[in-house]
Structure 1
Amino acid sequence: MSTTRAADSPAPDAVATALREADFIRLCPRPTGDALAAAGLLAYALRSTDTPFQVRTTRAATAPEGDGTAFALGWVAPDATFVPTGDRPVSVVAAEVSEELGVDPDPLVGLAGVVAAESAPGADGSGSLLEAAERTGAVDRRSGVAVPTADPAEGLANSTLLRAPYSDDADAARALLADLDYPAEPDDDDRRRFASVVALDATTDGPQRAAEAVGRALQPYATPRGPFATLGGYADVLGATAREAPGLGVALALGNDVVREAALDAWRSHAAATHGLLSNAGTARYDGAFVLRVDADPETTTALATAARLARDFLSPEPMAVVVTDGAAAAAGTDGTDVTRTLETAAGVGSACGDAREGEVRFDGEADEFVDGLRGAL
């Protein structure tokens, strides 16, 4: 059973009412940065109102069993109240639910979720979050590239917001900075030159959508009081921890800065795994899909979905990119095709989760069999 995109999010007051009426809450976010940010916002609100809760990410088609009332974030659950991906980021809906519960949402967490949802701060209903962040001095827009760390070379090499020649290669990123005479304390012109070169490197020989994708990582909002250097960097770490170390991600979304270094370690590991898959993939092009075959253990790999997203944005000449190994696949697509349903059809028998634009599936069988099924599904 797949969990696919719904057209509209539920009314925040209805979700708030359901939360008020529950004695114990189980928040079940999909392992995405947006859903994890939403879980953090709601968890903070529940803590502020003395409502018992737990948070557990899931890729299952139904909510994990347990006591209390389940709330699914970022997916449609047949056995739970749910806030699916849809016309707005899940984190935006969660922020509005928090306000309905009488708790001011943390604008940085909410906006990090918005960026993780491939939206922009201030767009898709996040205007009040951006206004709150700007009013309190929590964000400051500037030129440059969105990275989580003060070291731009490390940030660039480990970014999963873009794919460029220096991805997973810190030495190459440092060489770029050296060629640009990038100073230790850059001014706006230095950052602008840096961003221009990164944009060019990331889009050369890529599909047209690469320009839009890399644009989301440029002119970032700096976060002087946040756990990471920029909102985009925060979103990058949230997305990585959601898949690599969800417990850390939950703590991070709850505002626990103690886990910052551990979260950065998870981000580095996830980036290395993601870019490693892309660098070593065999590729094939079909009508409607660009397929990347990789050698990975489906029981342990956490990077298939991130690799599929980057492949769609920076590598794929087709509207859908599919990363497949024996027993598992992930896909990312543009609007128009429900990729999660396509994955489920291709797998025949399997458990798929995701939405219309991004999804993943586990199945019994080899990659070749899955690709045959994919060609039929397309």
Structure 2
Amino acid sequence: MPTENIINNAPLSQTRSHRPSVSSEVRTGYAAPNPDVAGILVRVSAYLANLLLGIILMYSPTEASTAVWTQLLTVYSLLVSGIIAISSDNLTRFHSGMTTFLVMSPLSSTLVVYAVLGFCGREHRLDAILSKRREHLIPRLLVIAFAVISLALIIYTGTANVKHFSTVVCESDDSYKTLASVLANLLFIPYAGVIVVLIFLFADAALLTALGVGLVILVMAPFILLSGSFIYAGVKQRYVLAQKFQAESNRWKIWVMWDFLAVQYPLMHFCGVFFVPMLYWVLVIELRTFGTPDNLFSLSFGQILAMFVILPPLLQAFQLAPEAKGWFMHLTFTRLITGRRAAVPPNKAYSLEDGVGEKFHIDPFQES
């Protein structure tokens, strides 16, 4: 199963182009570039914006209103431009898929979960913008709407006839029926990217042989390290967890363990909920664009606008910088080296399982 059929399009010998200036730069098996959708600066902007917004949402949820509106502006601008381009036959199937992949990031999936909790009337981390209150109805509706539109676009991209997409470089419908392409559409599900990345690597025996088993281990390292960390933390805290299970016997043990480990190991919690899924989201997108003309830098108006999206979350992240020392000094390995004891101030924390804010939580930015 050739990698080019998994990731992109049919061989160029089966295609045609109406733009010779672009086609002369297109490698065999790949569509013409679309810098406004999948250009280098657009992708980098999406990655940085999601990372910065994720940090703000995880560590400063009460100040997350601007971050949520920024993410909504980003995803709707991508969706609207993508839908308009498809309706006028100016977008390839490949770039239509790239649009949905950039929109349905782990951060977007997190917003959808909190919006649903808001509609269910439960308290959660983002009550400052996605609560059950009437004044937050519009942002909740906007979050649910972009999720529905994105899923509809994913289904349309994978099932619609090739004639509905751009004919700049014709694409093979068969290349979008492979296992990797089908699973790639589930990228918005946390950790689905782990499976997709492995399929991308193992599908091309020549690539796997050239790069070696070391690459597979490197790719799997974040997931393996995170899994090992959770297992180690559970074993280390087993006696305390046993007491927690008895004290909270009316709750599922998995949620009791999750809340306790999130309090004790905030960095591990951040990585498990957001950072590691984001790594695989980035990796899948970069694998899809690897070796394509979209990796040829060409400045465009869309890419310049994309860079401005980073500014609001960047400014908010800078405002958190003075508190970063307290957060770093609270980390388990830092306390192990310095011998500092953990402080446990009574702060409100929320469980994804029930939305009840009656637990005690360690402030990640609290100076120990």
TM-score bracket for the superposition, by shorter chain length:
under 0.3
Richer in helix (by share): 2
- Kindly indicate whether structure 1 or structure 2 has the higher relative contact order, using CA contacts under 8 Å at least 6 residues apart: 2
State the TM-score, normalized to the length of structure 2.
0.27
> Which has the greater radius of gyration?
2
